[in-house]
Amino acid sequence: MATQAQQPPHLHLAELTAAQFIDIWKHFDADGNGYIEGKELENFFKELETSRRGASTDPTQVAFKEKMKEFMAKFDKNADGRIEMTELAQLLPTEENFLLYFREFVGSSSEFMTAWRKYDTDRSGYIESNELKGFLSDLLKKANRKYDDKKLNEYTQTILRMFDLNGDGKLGLSEMARLLPVQENFLLKFQGTRLTVKEFNSLFIIYDKDGNGYIDEQELDALLNDLCDKNKMDVDAAGLVGYKKSLMALSDGGKLYRTELEIVLCRDSTL
């Protein structure tokens, strides 16, 4: 007999809290890779349909496959055949969906980088829980959402449970960037090009041509062009302008110092 822990959670999505949403996500993202895909996706949609219809559904039926296709067309925004957490969060009831508030507050990669720079107050390369709490407090105020300290703590812990992939109690830049809408998440584009610290140090020396310890806009142009060419990234001129704008949002008065660039380009940052 199956244990209670193995039973699928009830999917009364209109009544969910953000914390319950995470429990559901973790149940269906069985391999923990940040996506519901393949058999996981079929299992999720089967439970979703069962909760909506009040009766079990058969995944082999044509009607089931058609409904699942409609669901994917609506929620799989980047059409990659799998569902990300931020895509699925659209199902959350409005009063609990602080991810939607985030998107109103930080709608682009450059705005995200500006927010990162503001809330990573100690310049550690991470948003710790106290910094995250400040960020969420400002976010809720901007959305005119009433909250108390208990709710703020719950949201902070929920965000950590959602996006703290290595469980260290703080969010790195790439972890936090998963809050961005898929099409705006320029950090995902660099996922396969992340450098070791040694490679990054060599690269930084090459493009910091005047050796002043930072990269300016012209030097960043050259770096991004070469990085995209080297890794055969299909990026048009508008895309490059967007990447540059996002990175320069991390800069200090137009100066992009080693530490800021490292958290974006390194996969094993020393920070």
First to last CA, the chain: 48
Task: Read off the pLDDT of residues 101-138 as tens digits, 9 standing for 90 and up.
Answer: 666 666 667 777 888 888 888 878 788 888 988 888 88
Give CA–CA dist 233/229, Å, rounded.
6
Q: CATH for 4-91?
A: 1.10.238.10
Q: Which CATH number is 190-265 given? A: 1.10.238.10
Residues linked to residue 127 through DSSP beta bridges, in sequence order: 171
Q: Which of 5-14, 66-75, 76-85, 175-184 has the highest mean pLDDT?
A: 66-75
Task: Reduce the DSSP state of residue 195 to 3 states and report it.
Answer: strand
Asked whether 10 and 146 are in contact (CB, 8 A), the reply is no
pTM of the complete model: 0.58
Distance CA 179, CA 116 (A): 12
pLDDT category, 37, cuts 50, 70, 90?
A: very high
How far apart are the C-alpha atoms of 70 and 76, rounded to whole Å?
Answer: 10
Cβ-contact 128, 118 below 8 angstroms: no
97-183 to CATH, choices 1.10.10.10, 3.30.465.10, 1.10.238.10, 3.40.50.300? 1.10.238.10
**Common-topology check for domains 4-91 and 97-183:** yes
Query: Which of 111, 79, 118 is closest to 242 using CA atoms?
Result: 111
Domain ranges, ordered by start, for the chain: 4-91, 97-183, 190-265
Q: Does residue 195 contact residue 267 with C-beta atoms inside 8 Å?
A: yes
Mean pLDDT throughout 240-256?
A: 81
* Tokens linked to 261: 């660039």
Cβ atoms of 199 and 269 within 8 Å: the answer is no
Q: How confident is the model at residue 40 (pLDDT cuts 50, 70, 90)?
A: very high
Is pLDDT of 271 > 60?
no
